[in-house]
Amino acid sequence: MTNKEFESWLTKDEDELVNYIVIDITRHVSTLNSSDSNFYGYAILPSDYYSSANAPTIVTAFNFESDISTENKKEAYYRYSVDEWANYYHDGFESSNKELELIYKTFISTQSFENYVEAYNEKLNSAYMTSLTRLKENGVFSDDKYLIIWLSDSRDNIMSQSAKAFNTPEIYKQYASEFE
């Protein structure tokens, strides 16, 4: 793929990826809800864009009030830091991950793809943001659920952007008190 073709590709929406993510996460959350679990937080953990030599994949995490130890219940860090959560889910995202692999192959086929890492990351982040927006609009997540796109050991802007976009002002304020 030439750089011009890639630049054109970057401007296109990733509707298929968004649809797969919405379907896969809806199915996962439905399974959680059918087991009468009452999780308070849910996160998409995309692969680390900068250090991975493979196609990105999706992992999700969720946490229950009971997963926070008694001595840490009042600390925002333990509530909102996905790195501290107990439940990580790696399965059930085959459709999303297959589409991510196709996107990755398109990306690495580009001449001088190293020059487009930021644009590639922004394209994926946009798809994750759109996916969570649709999930909220579809009622998969209620307003009292903490939602975030989380990159471990990072201060990537997508974390703050998603925390602000998908949470109530009160939840966002608690998140921001620890992470901004």
User: Could you give the CA distance from residue 22 to residue 179 in angstroms, rounded to a whole number?
Assistant: 27
pLDDT bucket at 15, cuts 50 / 70 / 90: very high
> Other CB atoms closer than 10 Å to residue 21's CB: what's the count?
27
Q: Which residues fall within 8 angstroms of residue 21, CB to CB, at 6 or more apart?
A: 44, 58, 93, 96, 127, 128, 131
CB 28 within 8 A of CB 140: no
User: Which pLDDT tens digit goes with each residue over 104-161?
Assistant: 888 888 877 778 888 888 889 999 999 999 999 999 999 899 999 998 877 789 999 9
For the ranges 29-33, 35-39, 128-132, 152-156, the maximum mean pLDDT occurs at: 128-132
Quick check: pTM over 0.85?
yes
User: Which pLDDT tens digit goes with each residue over 75-91?
Assistant: 999 999 999 999 999 99
The residue written with tokens 């903490």 in the block is 146
User: Could you give the CA distance from residue 173 to residue 178 in angstroms, rounded to a whole number?
Assistant: 9
The residue written with tokens 């864009």 in the block is 49
Listed by start position, the domains of the chain span 3-179
